[in-house]
Amino acid sequence: MGKVSEAIKVIIVVNVVFFVATLLPGMNDEMFRWLALYFPKNKNFEYWQFVTNMFMHGGFAHILFNMYGLWAFGTPLEKIWGKGRFLIFYFISGIGAGIIYTAVNYFQFTNLYSEIIALGITDVQIQTLLDTGSYDTRILSLVSKEKLETLYNLFSIPAVGASGAIYGVLVAFAILFPNAKLALIFLPVPIAAKYFIPLLIALDLFSGLTGYSIFGGGVAHFAHVGGAVIGFLLMWYWKSRGIGYYRDDSYI
């Protein structure tokens, strides 16, 4: 891998600039309000957030691991495709990840909303919860605290990070370099990319479906899975159209 390739260098620099900007006095809340990806019914939601959330990160470890993954797995892809095609792939994967993540959240929210209404909670009481984060504790006789917190979190907590796009990159890497040996941090035994990356995606899918995360809380698992799905579909589409995987500077 070695030297940072051109497109990846630009992506990393922009991500670092955004991250540093969030550390400046008075900038954090404003940047997250405008640029993170919110639930569609939240007053802070804007369509541009499907792009801008890819440049926002929740902490140093978050941006460090994402940018390392981008460099480690994206570099050989850009060398094969050229910067134009790589950027197309990266942004389609990232935007697609945001759309799939939002669709899953919307499905979960509407189902849970209907379930809570059926338990006897009124629309006004739910809206108060969504607007303020608080509720009349007397309604706990009808609905569990966990369900109320889940509904509020789906509505209020935005998604940030380049992880969805990077999962698309991981899938492309596994397709182009299936026998490349990789190692898990907690299991430092080399595993071929064709096994390692599907395993990683399966763990995210498991965590998203069950709510049990081995990676800790606050992870947008369905954004990861969404990016992987979009990355796979785009690779399949390119192959079916005879575009191939060789370097093509006509995209630049």
70/48 Cα distance (integer angstroms) = 22
What pLDDT does 155 receive? 97
- Report residue 32 as tokens: 């997250």
Label residues 41-74 b or e (16+ Cβ within 10 Å = b). Answer: eeeeeeeebbebbbbbbbeeebbeebbebbbbbb
**Pair 39, 156: CB distance under 8 Å:** yes
Extract the runs of DSSP E, i.e. beta strands, from the chain. Answer: 181-182, 191-192
Percentage of the chain exceeding pLDDT 70: 91
More confident residue, 93 or 184: 93
Per-residue pLDDT tens over the stretch 15-69: 999 999 999 999 999 999 999 999 999 999 999 999 999 999 999 999 999 999 9
CA torsion angle 162 167 169 175 (round to 10): 180
77/83 Cα distance (integer angstroms) = 9
Q: Can you name the CATH fold of 6-251?
A: Rhomboid-like fold (1.20.1540)
What pLDDT does 68 receive? 93
Per-residue pLDDT tens over the stretch 63-80: 999 999 999 999 999 999
Per-residue pLDDT tens over the stretch 105-150: 999 999 999 999 999 999 999 999 999 999 999 999 999 999 999 9
Rounded mean pLDDT, 81-109: 96
**Pair 141, 106: CB distance under 8 Å:** no
Ramachandran angles phi, psi of 18, nearest 5°: -60, -45
**Pair 82, 249: CB distance under 8 Å:** yes
Cα Dmax for the chain = 64
Q: Please name the amino acid found at residue 181.
A: K
Conformation bin of residue 201: beta by default, left when phi > 0, alpha when psi is -120 to 50: alpha
In this prediction, residue 186 has a pLDDT band, given cuts at 50, 70 and 90, of: low
In this prediction, residue 207 has a pLDDT band, given cuts at 50, 70 and 90, of: confident
What pLDDT does 208 receive? 82
What pLDDT does 245 receive? 61
More confident residue, 191 or 123: 123
What pLDDT does 57 receive? 96
